[in-house]
Structure 1
Amino acid sequence: VSYVASEDPDNQHFSVDGVDVTEAIRGHEVSSSVSAIAKHPLVRQGLVDHFRNVIAACERPGIVMEGRDITTVVAPDAPVRVLLTADEDTRIARRLAEVAGTASAPSVAQALSSRDRSDQSVVDFMNAAPGVTLLDSTPLTFDETVRELLRIIAITKETA
């Protein structure tokens, strides 16, 4: 299986065996299945190894990764580690906007709650580990969140 992920933040795309899966991986069907698959130790270790290889192969001076255990398991020694959170209502609203009419509010809420419960048995994703900066984006717009992340990165670089 060949997997390709763009490192260009202005042109994000993902493909598997030459098939563009960019939209599909953000869909409700995939998101609602992630926990059931990722909780298997061999799958988790394979993903951790893959993500570490992506980091090692990155040609740019840094990389942004998302995932509930990136800061603690995948890249615990990264120079900047941020736990980006939001309250449940905000996360549901943002997820509904992402799936744009392909799922109902109740199904999104149920899937999010179910995934949270399932993931809590595998990783503590709601509390920042030592050395990880917590950023609650509940009251922030996307642009405000990006500005705050850039501020955190700048401060971290200054103190390093």
Structure 2
Amino acid sequence: MDGTSGSGKSSTSRGVAARLGLRYLDTGAMFRAMTWWMLERGIDVDDPGAVAAEADAPVLVSGTDPDAPTITVGETDVAGPIRSPEVTAAVSAVSAVPEVRARLLLEQRDIIGDGDIVVEGRDIGTVVAPDADVKVYLTADPSARATRRTAEMVGADVHATQQDLLRRDTIDSGRATAPLAMADDAHHIDTTPFTLEEVVDQVVALVEKALSQS
């Protein structure tokens, strides 16, 4: 499950995984956890060399229960801290560093293993799991994305949130390593006019169709 920020990837992925009894992996949380670790240690996240030098240092553990996903760095539960404005502002820069992507790619593929999992991110269908049985790419109107994301944050401004989402889209789509892109064989769903349940229904139908044809 790939797509732009605020298009509903997390809620949809968790909903599909819960409905089908599959595991769930939020690769974005892994990049956020890496970013949180860098910021905690005062590493200049705008210096690719400094970030690359520390990319192998943090120990990350990602839980795969869609009803209660977890992410820890060392012994610290960072599920809350990785959603801070500071991490959100810095995560695209950290994610663009090739050494970070290479390190986390290995971990993501190890977690995926033999499958039976819903994985969400920016490059899942194109890089992480190009042989996935079902690939979905979610988008939504920028204003709808901003409204949804603002509802998740206390005191956030819709206009500022929209500008930040578009900024992240530009960075993620333009980076040299594993840019945000829709796989050629992915199913594109514009979530703007649909409820979460309706989007989940559409994705579940795609999975069930693929299973029936396998």
The question of a shared fold, defined as TM-score above 0.5 by the shorter chain, is answered with: yes
CA distance in structure 1 between the partners assigned to 2:180 and 2:146 by the alignment: 20
Q: Which residue of 1 aligns with 2:202?
A: 148
For 1:26 and 1:72, how far apart are their aligned partners in 2? 25
Within-5 A mapping of 1:4-153: 4-56=61-113, 62-99=116-153, 101-122=154-175, 123-125=179-181, 128-153=182-207
Cα-to-partner distance string for 1:84-117 (whole Å, 9 max, x where unaligned):
2112111111111222x15322331221111111
- The answer to which structure, 1 or 2, has the higher relative contact order (CA under 8 A, 6+ apart) is 2
CA contact (8 A) 2:135 2:183 kept: no
Taking the aligned partners of 2:112 and 2:180, their CA distance within structure 1 comes to 22
User: What amino acid maps onto 1:116 in structure 2?
Assistant: D
Deviates more, 1:29-38 or 1:70-79: 29-38
- 1:23-46 alpha-carbon deviations (Å, 9 max, x no partner): 222333322222111111111211
Distance (whole Å) between structure 1 residues aligned to residue 136 and residue 149 of structure 2: 20
TM-score by length of 1: 0.86
The count of corresponding residues between Structure 1 and Structure 2 is 154
Say what the alpha-carbon RMSD is for the aligned residues: 1.7
Distance verdict in 2 for CA 1:149–1:27, change over 3 Å = farther
Structure 2 Cα separation of the partners of residues 147 and 5 of structure 1: 26
Task: Using the aligned pairs only, state the percent identity.
Answer: 38
Structure 2: runs of 5+ lacking an equivalent: 1-57
Query: What amino acid is aligned across from residue 121 of structure 1 in structure 2?
Result: G
Q: Which runs of 5+ in 1 are unaligned?
A: none
With the length of structure 2 as denominator, give the TM-score of the two structures. Answer: 0.66
